[in-house]
């Protein structure tokens, strides 16, 4: 495989392969997805967990939300969140200044965790997600798409810009009754990025993405096993090997 084909993949005319056999991520039941018939949710036959949602979600919407969030993150990180005035003096708070303050006050581990969850992981999460969705939107499949999407999904629970917004709201409600507080450009970007993070989750249909990344399995024997990340089904003899 050439470097160009690894990075950019090859054009693929098949944008929506037929449903195949998958394993439920909750109970592990191997089952065949029924043919799609309009909006709705396909549930697992055993535990009733949602396997695929077929309404209100799409590749284009998820890509637009992921790119918008990625664009909003740098100003949210670097620009002032709030401006507090006291006796003629103004104090501007930023995410980077807060992390540096924790470090200098003798809490380096807390600073590292905060930097990871508010800076590094959100940028990695939405950078990978935007790259994967853009490649699929262009109709190309590359070897790195599967691992990149799996990592992006794992990072979702650790990239906590939306949880940080809750903390900002609590801090604002504590200070605003006593001091003049003005939300800065960074604060506005945090609010927008947090909402776009939640909208990205709502518009992202993981089964459709996995189906676009690689062909689905048709193996449904009694010895079938399923990948815990993407639901791909393989024979038990393939246990311990890498998911294709």
Express each pLDDT in 7-63 by its tens digit.
566 555 334 444 567 778 778 788 877 766 556 788 888 898 887 776 667 889 999
Whether residue 151 has pLDDT greater than 90? yes
- 73 & 21 share domain: no
Q: What mean pLDDT comes out for the span 91-104?
A: 88
Q: Could you tell me if residue 197 is inside a domain? A: yes
Range of the domain at 211: 17-57+205-244
Higher pLDDT, 205 or 78: 78
Q: How confident is the model at residue 241 (pLDDT cuts 50, 70, 90)?
A: confident
Whether residue 121 has pLDDT greater than 90? yes
- 165 & 198 share domain: yes
Higher pLDDT, 222 or 169: 169
- 198 & 79 share domain: yes
Whether residue 217 has pLDDT greater than 80? no
- 79 & 191 share domain: yes
- 132 & 159 share domain: yes
- 68 & 154 share domain: yes
- 83 & 173 share domain: yes
Instruction: Give yes or no for a contact between 220 and 210, defined as CB atoms under 8 angstroms apart.
Output: no
Question: What's the confidence (pLDDT) of residue 127?
Answer: 96
Q: How confident is the model at residue 107 (pLDDT cuts 50, 70, 90)?
A: very high
pTM: 0.80
Higher pLDDT, 231 or 152: 152
Whether residue 133 has pLDDT greater than 90? yes
Q: What mean pLDDT value characterizes the chain?
A: 83
Whether residue 119 has pLDDT greater than 90? yes
Q: How many domains does the chain have?
A: 2
- 154 & 167 share domain: yes
- 234 & 148 share domain: no
- 133 & 175 share domain: yes
Question: What's the confidence (pLDDT) of residue 15?
Answer: 41
Q: What mean pLDDT comes out for the span 85-94?
A: 74
Q: Could you tell me if residue 210 is inside a domain? A: yes
Q: Could you tell me if residue 97 is inside a domain? A: yes
Most confident of 7-11, 84-88, 171-175: 171-175
Question: What's the confidence (pLDDT) of residue 82?
Answer: 84
Torsion angle of C-alpha atoms 71, 185, 155, 105, degrees rounded to 10 = 140
- CATH number for the domain that contains residue 130: 1.20.140
Q: Could you tell me if residue 7 is inside a domain? A: no
- 191 & 72 share domain: yes
- 226 & 151 share domain: no
Q: Could you tell me if residue 236 is inside a domain? A: yes
Question: What's the confidence (pLDDT) of residue 193?
Answer: 94
Q: Could you tell me if residue 165 is inside a domain? A: yes
């Amino acid at each position: 495989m050439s470097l160009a084909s690894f990075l950019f993949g090859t054009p693929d005319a098949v944008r929506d392969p037929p449903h195949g056999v998958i394993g439920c991520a909750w109970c592990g039941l191997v089952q065949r997805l029924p043919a799609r018939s309009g909006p709705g949710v396909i549930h697992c036959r055993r535990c009733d967990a949602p396997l695929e949602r077929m309404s209100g979600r799409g590749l284009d919407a998820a890509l637009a939300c992921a790119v918008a969030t990625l664009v909003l993150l740098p100003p949210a990180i670097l620009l002032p969140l709030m401006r507090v005035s006291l006796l003629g003096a103004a104090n501007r708070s930023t995410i980077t200044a807060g992390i540096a303050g924790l470090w200098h006050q003798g809490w380096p581990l807390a600073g590292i965790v905060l930097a990871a969850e508010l800076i590094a992981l959100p940028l990695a999460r939405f950078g990978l997600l935007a790259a994967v969705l853009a490649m699929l939107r262009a109709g190309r499949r590359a070897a790195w798409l599967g691992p990149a999407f799996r990592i992006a999904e794992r990072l979702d629970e650790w990239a906590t810009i939306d949880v940080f917004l809750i903390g900002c709201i609590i801090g604002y409600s504590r200070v605003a009754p006593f001091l003049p507080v003005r939300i800065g450009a960074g604060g506005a970007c945090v609010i927008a990025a947090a909402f776009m993070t939640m909208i990205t989750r709502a518009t992202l249909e993981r089964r459709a993405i996995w189906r676009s990344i690689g062909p689905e399995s048709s193996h449904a024997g009694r010895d079938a096993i399923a990948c815990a990340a993407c639901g791909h089904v393989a024979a038990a003899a393939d246990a311990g090997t890498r998911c294709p």
